[in-house]
Amino acid sequence: MTFLEVRNLSVQAGATAVVRDASLQLDASQKYTLLGETGSGKSLLAQAIMGNLPAGLSSSGSIAVFGETSAADEPMKRQRLWGHSLALLPQEPWLALDPTMRALSQVAETYQKVGRVPDGVKGARRRASADFSSLGLAGAERKLPGALSGGMAQRTAFAVVRAGGARLLIVDEPTKGLDAGLRDGVVSMLKQVADNGGAVLTITHDVAAARLLGGTIGIMLDGEIVEQGPADQVLAQPRHDYTRRLLAADPESWAPRTQPTPGPPVLTAKGLSKRFGEQQLFADLDIEIASGGRVAVVGPSGSGKTTLGGMLLGVVPPDSGSVSRRPDVPAWKYQKLYQDPIAAFAPRVRLRTSLRDLVSRHGLQWADVEKWMERTRLRASLLDRLPDQVSSGELQRIALVRVLLLNPVLLVADEPTSRLDPITQQETIYLLAECLADLGCALVLVTHDAAIAGNIASRVLTLSAPPSRTP
């Protein structure tokens, strides 16, 4: 049975087409994965199918859900199916849960009100409990979403979506910001849906997740599906040039790089430890970072990677232990790149002003800014915008320029590319490594991606997952 058939779907934002002439089909027990970079229109395509396109966008084409055909611009017809036939698992599902309601109740409520299971509240709670044990959430029933780990929150959200009984599931970036372990868990959940006769449409920029999911893959570029076919075929023998670049950008297939010869130490940390409440993040950690050296800090979410980075920079005080930096080097030569570059800029100040301020604060030349802008392949006109008006990839490079201007001796990069798509990620990491090598600057790369860590760093420091919180 055909669950979903999209024919010649286009989405227009004013005069520009953001999705062009997309067609796809999804049958029972099938998986379809849309793979593409940020801004390629894949999320808009999903929203058009759901019928919740943002205001101001117009759409054309036809969408058939469970054999019922409606025009793309009749979203009401598909909104009627929400929850019980057609459901969306949102990005970062911990934000989609009700923060004031206990985990099990959220699932039970959906069983009762959306799934309309027989024998009311009791039946709903019984089913929810069964879900909790089958999803490995036993013990989390009475927790509030804030007390759940990222993976648990994701499984709870998944249980909520499944409780509605929808057999066609649209999933938006399910693996964004997750480490490999959690990613595999999500993928196996999605595979189960298809194995049980449902159908899953996944939107992602994560090639590894797409590979694990299997099924059919559609590659999206600039609003067009440029290539589609069975996953193993598309990923093994890509026909479109863009698909080839996308696959080459996967950190697993990056070319190995030569390590710089390290010099004298720029930072020595001894006996660092940190606990949050009951939870010991790490204890008695010794780190020495040589000038020009590259250290990667890896570990699952919540293992204290970011905290450790903050400690090295003196932003977070350690519970015990000490961090000593070179006394002859000013504090501002120790710099940081943020996971979300937007978090590094004053939101209402134009980028040009931010950089001009830095130039005058440290007596630099504007020519240096131009030099680094050119080096990082940034257009000067970007600087006339506000931080939220440039793409994440560009903003991260501007953040890099800002840091490089100071000729730093150590840069702590906190997951600098985890929110970027693979091609942009590769460009950014390569650029980062090259620029730092030119300056002889040491790098501490905080990442959850073991492949990137192995490619970049000469030394990998692994933080283990903290023991799970007391139930």
Q: Binding to another protein by residue 55, rule CB under 8 A?
A: no
Q: Which of 402, 432, 443, 466 binds another protein (CB under 8 A)?
A: 402
350/371 with CB nearer another protein? 350
Cα(229)–Cα(281) distance, integer angstroms? 45
Q: Binding to another protein by residue 381, rule CB under 8 A?
A: no
Q: Is 293 exposed, middle or buried (0-12, 13-18, 19+ CB in 10 A)?
A: buried
Tokens of 284: 């008695």
262/408 with CB nearer another protein? 408
* Beta carbons within 8 Å of 245's beta carbon, 6+ residues apart: 423
Q: Binding to another protein by residue 380, rule CB under 8 A?
A: no
Q: Binding to another protein by residue 330, rule CB under 8 A?
A: yes
109/414 with CB nearer another protein? 414
In three-state secondary structure terms, 43 is: helix
Angle between helices 351-361 and 392-404 (to 10 degrees): 10
In three-state secondary structure terms, 178 is: coil
Q: Which of 32, 111, 158, 334 binds another protein (CB under 8 A)?
A: 334
The answer to whether the beta carbons of residues 442 and 293 sit under 8 Å apart is yes
Q: Which of 307, 354, 396, 425 binds another protein (CB under 8 A)?
A: 354
Q: Which of 77, 80, 350, 459 binds another protein (CB under 8 A)?
A: 350
Q: Binding to another protein by residue 347, rule CB under 8 A?
A: yes
**Which 151-190 residues touch another protein, going by CB under 8 A?**
none
Tokens of 310: 């903050």
Sheet of strand 320-325: strand arrangement: 279-290, 265-276, 320-325
Q: Which of 15, 255, 331, 367 binds another protein (CB under 8 A)?
A: 331
The Cβ of residue 57 has, within 10 Å, a number of other Cβ atoms equal to 16
Q: Which residue has the tokens 């350690």?
A: 318
**Smallest distance from the beta carbon of 353 to another protein, in angstroms?**
3
Q: Which of 142, 361, 377, 469 binds another protein (CB under 8 A)?
A: 361
Tokens of 157: 């959200």
Tokens of 36: 């593409």
21/340 with CB nearer another protein? 340
Candidates 78-86, 225-233, 296-304, 340-348 — which segment interacts with another protein by CB under 8 A?
Answer: 340-348
358/437 with CB nearer another protein? 358
Candidates 111-119, 200-208, 238-246, 346-354 — which segment interacts with another protein by CB under 8 A?
Answer: 346-354
What is each CA distance from 180 to 36, 151, 186, 470, in whole angstroms?
A: 20, 11, 10, 24
Q: Strand 279-290 relative to strand 294-298: parallel, antiparallel, unpaired?
A: unpaired
DSSP 40: S
* Beta carbons within 8 Å of 234's beta carbon, 6+ residues apart: 217, 219, 227, 228, 243
20/356 with CB nearer another protein? 356
Q: Binding to another protein by residue 362, rule CB under 8 A?
A: yes
Q: Which of 344, 395, 420, 452 binds another protein (CB under 8 A)?
A: 344
Q: Which residues of this protein are in contact with another protein, per CB under 8 A?
A: 313, 315, 330-332, 334-336, 338, 343-350, 352-354, 356-358, 361-362, 386, 402-403, 406
